[in-house]
Amino acid sequence: MIENNEIVGYEVYGSHGDPDLETVIIPEKYKDLPVIKISNVAFSGYSNLTSVTIPDSVVSIGELAFSGCSSLTSITIPDSVVSIGECAFSGCSSLTSITIPNSVVSIGNSAFDECSSLTNITISDGVTIIGDYAFEDCSSLTSIIIPGSVVSIGERAFSGCSNLTVLTLSHGVTIIGKEVCLNCDNLTNLTVPGSVVSIGEYAFHNLRSLVIGHGVRSIDAHAFGSCHSLESIIIPSTMRSIGESAFNGINKVYYAGTIESWSLIDIAQNSDGSDSEFEEYIANGALYYYSEAEPSDDGYQYWHYVNGTVVEW
Protein backbone atom coordinates (compact mmCIF):
# COMPACT_ATOMS: atom_id res chain seq x y z
CA MET A 1 0.00 0.00 0.00
CA ILE A 2 1.26 3.46 -0.95
CA GLU A 3 0.82 6.78 0.86
CA ASN A 4 2.43 10.00 -0.40
CA ASN A 5 4.30 8.00 -3.03
CA GLU A 6 5.88 5.82 -0.37
CA ILE A 7 5.23 2.16 0.36
CA VAL A 8 3.95 1.91 3.95
CA GLY A 9 2.85 -1.71 4.01
CA TYR A 10 1.64 -4.69 2.02
CA GLU A 11 -1.61 -6.45 1.21
CA VAL A 12 -2.04 -10.21 1.15
CA TYR A 13 -3.41 -11.64 -2.09
CA GLY A 14 -4.35 -15.24 -2.77
CA SER A 15 -5.08 -17.31 -5.84
CA HIS A 16 -8.86 -17.58 -6.08
CA GLY A 17 -10.43 -20.90 -5.13
CA ASP A 18 -7.32 -23.00 -4.35
CA PRO A 19 -8.89 -26.44 -3.73
CA ASP A 20 -6.06 -27.88 -1.66
CA LEU A 21 -4.94 -25.15 0.74
CA GLU A 22 -5.82 -26.04 4.35
CA THR A 23 -3.68 -23.68 6.42
CA VAL A 24 -2.79 -20.01 5.94
CA ILE A 25 -0.23 -18.19 8.09
CA ILE A 26 -0.06 -14.51 7.17
CA PRO A 27 3.34 -13.00 8.00
CA GLU A 28 3.57 -9.89 10.13
CA LYS A 29 6.15 -8.35 7.78
CA TYR A 30 7.17 -8.61 4.16
CA LYS A 31 10.37 -6.96 2.93
CA ASP A 32 10.74 -5.26 6.34
CA LEU A 33 7.35 -3.56 6.07
CA PRO A 34 4.15 -4.58 7.89
CA VAL A 35 1.38 -6.58 6.26
CA ILE A 36 -1.56 -4.29 6.94
CA LYS A 37 -4.43 -5.57 4.82
CA ILE A 38 -5.99 -8.80 3.63
CA SER A 39 -7.14 -7.86 0.16
CA ASN A 40 -10.59 -8.23 -1.35
CA VAL A 41 -11.36 -11.83 -2.38
CA ALA A 42 -7.95 -12.92 -1.07
CA PHE A 43 -8.98 -16.41 0.03
CA SER A 44 -12.53 -16.52 -1.27
CA GLY A 45 -13.71 -20.01 -2.14
CA TYR A 46 -10.90 -21.88 -0.35
CA SER A 47 -13.32 -24.63 0.63
CA ASN A 48 -10.70 -26.81 2.36
CA LEU A 49 -9.20 -24.01 4.45
CA THR A 50 -9.46 -24.91 8.15
CA SER A 51 -6.93 -22.62 9.86
CA VAL A 52 -5.89 -18.98 9.39
CA THR A 53 -3.37 -16.99 11.42
CA ILE A 54 -3.70 -13.20 11.14
CA PRO A 55 -0.87 -11.11 12.64
CA ASP A 56 -1.51 -8.01 14.73
CA SER A 57 -0.08 -5.81 11.98
CA VAL A 58 -3.29 -6.22 9.93
CA VAL A 59 -5.60 -3.21 10.05
CA SER A 60 -8.21 -4.15 7.46
CA ILE A 61 -9.89 -7.34 6.26
CA GLY A 62 -11.18 -6.74 2.74
CA GLU A 63 -14.44 -7.56 1.01
CA LEU A 64 -15.07 -11.28 0.43
CA ALA A 65 -11.65 -12.02 1.91
CA PHE A 66 -12.67 -15.42 3.33
CA SER A 67 -16.12 -15.85 1.81
CA GLY A 68 -17.08 -19.42 1.04
CA CYS A 69 -14.36 -20.92 3.23
CA SER A 70 -16.82 -23.58 4.27
CA SER A 71 -14.32 -25.70 6.28
CA LEU A 72 -12.98 -22.83 8.41
CA THR A 73 -13.94 -23.64 12.01
CA SER A 74 -12.29 -20.79 13.93
CA ILE A 75 -10.36 -17.59 13.39
CA THR A 76 -8.85 -14.99 15.69
CA ILE A 77 -9.21 -11.37 14.62
CA PRO A 78 -6.36 -9.41 16.24
CA ASP A 79 -7.01 -6.17 18.08
CA SER A 80 -5.18 -4.22 15.38
CA VAL A 81 -8.06 -4.68 12.92
CA VAL A 82 -10.23 -1.57 12.45
CA SER A 83 -12.61 -2.65 9.68
CA ILE A 84 -14.15 -5.89 8.45
CA GLY A 85 -15.27 -5.58 4.83
CA GLU A 86 -18.48 -6.62 3.13
CA CYS A 87 -19.01 -10.38 2.93
CA ALA A 88 -15.59 -10.92 4.53
CA PHE A 89 -16.62 -14.23 6.13
CA SER A 90 -19.86 -14.83 4.27
CA GLY A 91 -20.72 -18.49 3.88
CA CYS A 92 -18.13 -19.76 6.38
CA SER A 93 -20.61 -22.43 7.34
CA SER A 94 -18.31 -24.32 9.75
CA LEU A 95 -17.30 -21.26 11.78
CA THR A 96 -18.61 -21.74 15.32
CA SER A 97 -17.32 -18.74 17.27
CA ILE A 98 -16.09 -15.23 16.53
CA THR A 99 -14.90 -12.34 18.71
CA ILE A 100 -14.89 -8.83 17.25
CA PRO A 101 -12.16 -6.94 19.14
CA ASN A 102 -12.66 -3.41 20.45
CA SER A 103 -10.33 -2.02 17.78
CA VAL A 104 -12.95 -2.73 15.10
CA VAL A 105 -15.11 0.29 14.26
CA SER A 106 -17.37 -1.18 11.59
CA ILE A 107 -18.64 -4.61 10.62
CA GLY A 108 -19.36 -4.56 6.89
CA ASN A 109 -22.57 -5.52 5.13
CA SER A 110 -23.07 -9.30 5.03
CA ALA A 111 -19.75 -9.77 6.83
CA PHE A 112 -20.84 -13.00 8.52
CA ASP A 113 -24.05 -13.88 6.71
CA GLU A 114 -24.84 -17.57 6.22
CA CYS A 115 -22.37 -18.62 8.90
CA SER A 116 -24.88 -21.27 9.85
CA SER A 117 -22.79 -22.92 12.60
CA LEU A 118 -22.02 -19.73 14.54
CA THR A 119 -23.22 -20.22 18.10
CA ASN A 120 -21.12 -17.57 19.83
CA ILE A 121 -20.59 -13.98 18.65
CA THR A 122 -18.84 -11.50 20.93
CA ILE A 123 -18.95 -7.87 19.82
CA SER A 124 -16.57 -5.80 21.90
CA ASP A 125 -17.21 -2.26 23.07
CA GLY A 126 -15.69 -0.13 20.31
CA VAL A 127 -17.73 -1.25 17.32
CA THR A 128 -20.00 1.59 16.17
CA ILE A 129 -21.68 0.20 13.05
CA ILE A 130 -23.14 -3.23 12.35
CA GLY A 131 -23.78 -3.30 8.61
CA ASP A 132 -26.82 -4.49 6.67
CA TYR A 133 -27.23 -8.28 6.64
CA ALA A 134 -24.11 -8.56 8.84
CA PHE A 135 -25.23 -11.76 10.60
CA GLU A 136 -28.18 -12.76 8.45
CA ASP A 137 -29.05 -16.48 8.44
CA CYS A 138 -26.72 -17.35 11.31
CA SER A 139 -29.26 -19.99 12.19
CA SER A 140 -27.37 -21.55 15.15
CA LEU A 141 -27.00 -18.28 17.05
CA THR A 142 -29.07 -18.24 20.26
CA SER A 143 -28.03 -15.01 21.98
CA ILE A 144 -26.06 -11.83 21.39
CA ILE A 145 -25.23 -8.65 23.30
CA ILE A 146 -24.97 -5.38 21.38
CA PRO A 147 -22.59 -3.07 23.30
CA GLY A 148 -23.32 0.58 23.99
CA SER A 149 -20.67 1.72 21.51
CA VAL A 150 -22.85 0.55 18.62
CA VAL A 151 -24.77 3.46 17.12
CA SER A 152 -26.45 1.77 14.18
CA ILE A 153 -27.69 -1.76 13.53
CA GLY A 154 -28.23 -2.19 9.80
CA GLU A 155 -31.10 -3.56 7.76
CA ARG A 156 -31.71 -7.31 8.26
CA ALA A 157 -28.57 -7.55 10.42
CA PHE A 158 -29.95 -10.60 12.26
CA SER A 159 -32.71 -11.64 9.89
CA GLY A 160 -33.11 -15.40 9.60
CA CYS A 161 -31.36 -16.13 12.91
CA SER A 162 -34.10 -18.63 13.56
CA ASN A 163 -32.80 -19.87 16.94
CA LEU A 164 -32.07 -16.44 18.42
CA THR A 165 -33.83 -16.17 21.78
CA VAL A 166 -31.96 -13.30 23.48
CA LEU A 167 -31.04 -9.96 21.91
CA THR A 168 -29.61 -7.50 24.43
CA LEU A 169 -29.49 -3.90 23.22
CA SER A 170 -27.28 -1.72 25.39
CA HIS A 171 -27.93 1.96 25.96
CA GLY A 172 -26.15 3.80 23.15
CA VAL A 173 -27.81 2.18 20.17
CA THR A 174 -29.69 4.87 18.22
CA ILE A 175 -30.78 3.29 14.92
CA ILE A 176 -32.45 -0.12 14.51
CA GLY A 177 -32.69 -0.93 10.83
CA LYS A 178 -35.50 -2.29 8.70
CA GLU A 179 -36.31 -6.01 9.13
CA VAL A 180 -33.44 -6.32 11.60
CA CYS A 181 -34.85 -9.50 13.15
CA LEU A 182 -37.20 -10.67 10.41
CA ASN A 183 -38.03 -14.38 10.80
CA CYS A 184 -36.42 -14.60 14.22
CA ASP A 185 -39.42 -16.58 15.44
CA ASN A 186 -37.87 -17.60 18.77
CA LEU A 187 -37.07 -14.05 19.86
CA THR A 188 -40.10 -13.32 22.03
CA ASN A 189 -38.89 -10.71 24.56
CA LEU A 190 -37.18 -7.40 23.89
CA THR A 191 -36.20 -4.21 25.70
CA VAL A 192 -35.50 -1.21 23.47
CA PRO A 193 -33.24 1.27 25.32
CA GLY A 194 -34.14 4.93 25.49
CA SER A 195 -31.12 5.87 23.40
CA VAL A 196 -32.87 4.49 20.30
CA VAL A 197 -34.20 7.25 18.07
CA SER A 198 -35.70 5.15 15.29
CA ILE A 199 -37.01 1.60 14.85
CA GLY A 200 -37.21 0.52 11.20
CA GLU A 201 -40.04 -1.08 9.23
CA TYR A 202 -40.86 -4.73 9.94
CA ALA A 203 -38.07 -4.76 12.52
CA PHE A 204 -39.43 -7.52 14.76
CA HIS A 205 -41.57 -10.51 14.07
CA ASN A 206 -42.91 -12.60 16.92
CA LEU A 207 -42.50 -10.70 20.19
CA ARG A 208 -44.74 -11.49 23.16
CA SER A 209 -43.19 -8.95 25.51
CA LEU A 210 -41.82 -5.51 24.61
CA VAL A 211 -40.41 -2.64 26.67
CA ILE A 212 -39.79 0.65 24.85
CA GLY A 213 -37.48 2.90 26.82
CA HIS A 214 -38.01 6.56 27.58
CA GLY A 215 -36.23 8.47 24.81
CA VAL A 216 -37.47 6.53 21.79
CA ARG A 217 -39.05 8.99 19.34
CA SER A 218 -40.00 7.11 16.18
CA ILE A 219 -41.40 3.72 15.24
CA ASP A 220 -41.63 3.04 11.50
CA ALA A 221 -44.44 1.33 9.62
CA HIS A 222 -45.13 -2.31 10.56
CA ALA A 223 -42.16 -2.31 12.97
CA PHE A 224 -44.03 -4.59 15.39
CA GLY A 225 -46.97 -5.35 13.11
CA SER A 226 -46.24 -9.09 13.01
CA CYS A 227 -46.05 -9.36 16.80
CA HIS A 228 -49.62 -10.63 17.09
CA SER A 229 -49.14 -11.94 20.63
CA LEU A 230 -48.39 -8.49 22.03
CA GLU A 231 -51.46 -7.65 24.07
CA SER A 232 -50.32 -4.41 25.68
CA ILE A 233 -47.61 -1.82 25.22
CA ILE A 234 -46.20 1.17 27.11
CA ILE A 235 -45.52 4.14 24.83
CA PRO A 236 -42.96 6.58 26.29
CA SER A 237 -43.80 10.28 26.47
CA THR A 238 -40.86 11.02 24.17
CA MET A 239 -42.61 9.34 21.21
CA ARG A 240 -43.33 11.65 18.26
CA SER A 241 -44.05 9.34 15.34
CA ILE A 242 -45.79 5.97 14.95
CA GLY A 243 -45.88 4.54 11.44
CA GLU A 244 -48.67 2.75 9.60
CA SER A 245 -49.67 -0.53 11.29
CA ALA A 246 -46.69 -0.33 13.65
CA PHE A 247 -48.69 -2.52 16.04
CA ASN A 248 -51.46 -5.04 15.41
CA GLY A 249 -53.69 -6.80 17.92
CA ILE A 250 -52.93 -4.53 20.88
CA ASN A 251 -55.63 -4.52 23.57
CA LYS A 252 -54.13 -1.93 25.89
CA VAL A 253 -51.92 1.08 25.11
CA TYR A 254 -50.39 2.63 28.21
CA TYR A 255 -49.06 6.06 27.38
CA ALA A 256 -46.46 7.41 29.83
CA GLY A 257 -47.50 11.02 29.27
CA THR A 258 -50.40 13.44 29.35
CA ILE A 259 -53.39 13.97 27.09
CA GLU A 260 -51.70 17.10 25.76
CA SER A 261 -48.41 15.37 24.88
CA TRP A 262 -50.25 12.48 23.19
CA SER A 263 -51.59 15.00 20.69
CA LEU A 264 -48.00 15.71 19.59
CA ILE A 265 -47.56 12.17 18.23
CA ASP A 266 -47.97 11.77 14.47
CA ILE A 267 -49.83 8.49 14.00
CA ALA A 268 -49.83 7.44 10.35
CA GLN A 269 -52.97 6.39 8.54
CA ASN A 270 -53.11 3.53 6.07
CA SER A 271 -51.82 4.24 2.59
CA ASP A 272 -55.42 4.55 1.33
CA GLY A 273 -56.16 7.28 3.88
CA SER A 274 -58.21 5.12 6.22
CA ASP A 275 -57.51 4.79 9.92
CA SER A 276 -54.82 2.24 10.79
CA GLU A 277 -55.59 -0.64 13.14
CA PHE A 278 -53.61 1.14 15.84
CA GLU A 279 -55.82 4.22 15.49
CA GLU A 280 -58.88 1.99 15.68
CA TYR A 281 -57.63 0.47 18.94
CA ILE A 282 -57.27 3.95 20.37
CA ALA A 283 -60.74 4.98 19.17
CA ASN A 284 -62.22 1.84 20.77
CA GLY A 285 -60.90 2.68 24.22
CA ALA A 286 -57.49 0.96 24.33
CA LEU A 287 -55.61 4.12 25.38
CA TYR A 288 -54.64 4.90 28.98
CA TYR A 289 -52.82 8.06 30.11
CA TYR A 290 -50.34 8.17 32.97
CA SER A 291 -51.29 9.75 36.28
CA GLU A 292 -49.44 9.36 39.57
CA ALA A 293 -52.38 10.70 41.53
CA GLU A 294 -55.86 9.23 41.35
CA PRO A 295 -57.59 11.19 38.58
CA SER A 296 -61.00 12.76 38.54
CA ASP A 297 -63.74 11.21 36.45
CA ASP A 298 -63.11 13.18 33.25
CA GLY A 299 -64.02 10.47 30.75
CA TYR A 300 -60.44 9.35 30.10
CA GLN A 301 -58.66 6.20 31.28
CA TYR A 302 -55.51 6.35 33.41
CA TRP A 303 -52.79 4.10 34.78
CA HIS A 304 -49.85 4.24 37.17
CA TYR A 305 -47.10 2.03 38.58
CA VAL A 306 -47.41 0.06 41.81
CA ASN A 307 -44.12 -1.59 42.75
CA GLY A 308 -43.05 -1.48 39.10
CA THR A 309 -46.25 -3.05 37.81
CA VAL A 310 -48.81 -1.32 35.57
CA VAL A 311 -52.04 -0.75 37.43
CA GLU A 312 -55.13 0.92 35.97
CA TRP A 313 -56.94 3.52 38.01
Model confidence pLDDT, tens digit, residues 151-204: 999 999 999 999 999 999 999 999 999 999 999 999 999 999 999 999 999 999
Average pLDDT, the chain: 91
Considering the domain architecture, whether residues 49 and 152 belong to the same structural domain is answered as yes
Considering the domain architecture, whether residues 61 and 174 belong to the same structural domain is answered as yes
3-state secondary structure of 286: helix
CA angle centred on 214, ends 102 and 271, rounded to 5°: 100
Residue 5 confidence (pLDDT): 54
Is 97 a residue whose pLDDT tops 60? yes
Determine phi and psi for 285, rounding to 5 degrees.
95, 20
Residue 149 confidence (pLDDT): 97
pLDDT band at 7; cut points 50, 70, 90: low
Considering the domain architecture, whether residues 163 and 250 belong to the same structural domain is answered as no
Least confident of 15-24, 124-133, 260-269, 295-304: 15-24
Quote the number of domains for the chain. Answer: 2
Domain that holds residue 110: 1-187
Considering the domain architecture, whether residues 268 and 306 belong to the same structural domain is answered as yes
Q: How far apart are CA 60 and CA 58, in angstroms?
A: 6
